[in-house]
Amino acid sequence: MPTPLPSPATADLTPPGPDEVQHLARGVLAAIAPSGGPTELQRLLVGAAFAAMTGHAPITVDQPPIEPEGFAVGMAQRNDAFRTRILQTMILGALVLRPLEPAVAERVEAFARALSVDDGMLRVAQRFAAGQLGLAAVDFDRNGYTAGWSAERVQALHTSTGLAEAWQQASDDADLAARWAALEHMPAGTLGRGVWELYRARGFAFPGEPGSAPPLLAQHDWVHVLADYGTRVESELEVFAFIARATDDPRGFSLLAMVVSLFETGYLATGAGLFEAFPGQLSADGMAVRVADALRRGALSHGPDGQPDVDLLALDWFALADQPVDELRRRFGLVDKSPAAVAAGSVGPWEPGGISPYQHDTGTRAAADAGRAYHSFGATP
């Protein structure tokens, strides 16, 4: 029988203590374990996520499984938002499996019912488990971040015409391209100048030019600079974990689910109008710690004007482009990366490892074609 949600007056809003964290981790692993037991990546990801988000490292080894009803009873005083985040942790843990056994998807759904919550990405997991990869891609749009795309969202992107679809490209928009190119003239140390340098070093086409990223996807490039993440594929996992957790809208989780499906399992062949599958990135050494720390940093951030959360893909970044990066980090409440994440290889866009060899070569060729000297602004492959 499902455990009902508490009333707002009786909900427990305090941070979970060590015993509850152990209970939560036990339930998550019970939900996502394939027939041979939790995989090493699942254990690493669950352990790192709970440690980063709660400050308590769960003991997840050799714990007996727990049934959905018993797990939900232990969360009786937790509200919808808390339970949904736990369900999303389960879905994330399921999405790193390839193959994703149908029994795992069914078990996660049983935990969701017991918790009296739901999430659109549960349908995606069920599609993956059934081998319905094309339908899963459709469900990302139906149930995820871009559901209900509206004309109002286009205003922050500064396109000359409306976009019928969220990830639509705008490759023939001279005014938009000029707006991005003008970031070159922002003072050194500002966010706008940093984004321009990011593009110049990597040979990226500005939105509005042929071969450019969709304007909505380009919104995340401002976050690379603001949150200090490089542009290799593994850093994309960090950026989208940060973005997904910075907003209180649970649909933001679909952005992280999307990049995991692109860059770990390859369930998605393409995504966000530009990305292509490159599996195995989350399995690399240290990546579970890096992604977990990005979730922590996103959760602790807030809107630039004191709002409790922020949708980083919906901001008008050009309105902030002339502000110093350091000042904006204070305004957004950004905390430093954890020492563990840095030790695991998390780097910024101007550090060694913050640019891929392909991006470095592309930037070098673009400079040569334009007859100018190449500058990486400190980044090396």
Could you say which of 143, 173, 204 is where a domain stops? 143
Q: Which domain holds residue 289?
A: 151-370
H helix or E strand, kind and range, residue 297:
helix 287-300
Could you say which of 143, 162, 195 is where a domain stops? 143
Are residue 116 and residue 223 in the same domain, yes or no?
A: no
Are residue 221 and residue 322 in the same domain, yes or no?
A: yes
Are residue 167 and residue 66 in the same domain, yes or no?
A: no
What is the per-residue pLDDT across 71-96, written as a single tens digit (0 to 9) for each?
A: 999 999 999 999 999 999 999 999 99
What is the per-residue pLDDT across 268-297, written as a single tens digit (0 to 9) for each?
A: 999 999 999 999 999 999 999 999 999 999
Are residue 133 and residue 158 in the same domain, yes or no?
A: no
- pTM of the full structure: 0.97
Average pLDDT per run of 10 along the chain, which is 381 residues long?
A: 96 97 95 96 96 88 85 98 98 98 98 98 97 95 90 91 94 97 98 98 98 97 98 98 97 98 98 97 98 98 92 97 98 98 98 97 97 96 94
The structural domain count of the chain equals 2
Residue at token pair 């069920």? 126
Are residue 307 and residue 180 in the same domain, yes or no?
A: yes
381, part of any domain: no
Are residue 180 and residue 310 in the same domain, yes or no?
A: yes
Cα separation values, 167 from 113, 162, 181, Å = 32, 12, 21
Sign of CA dihedral 80, 85, 90, 92: positive
The angle that helices 287-300 and 40-54 make with each other, rounded to 10 degrees, is 30
Dig out the tokens for 198 from the structure: 């990011």
Are residue 357 and residue 295 in the same domain, yes or no?
A: yes
Q: Please say whether the beta carbons of 158 and 176 come within 8 A.
A: yes
Are residue 72 and residue 105 in the same domain, yes or no?
A: yes
Instruction: Count Cα neighbours of 167 within 13 Å in the Cβ-side half-sphere.
Output: 16
**275-276 and 270-271 strand pairing:** antiparallel
Are residue 201 and residue 339 in the same domain, yes or no?
A: yes
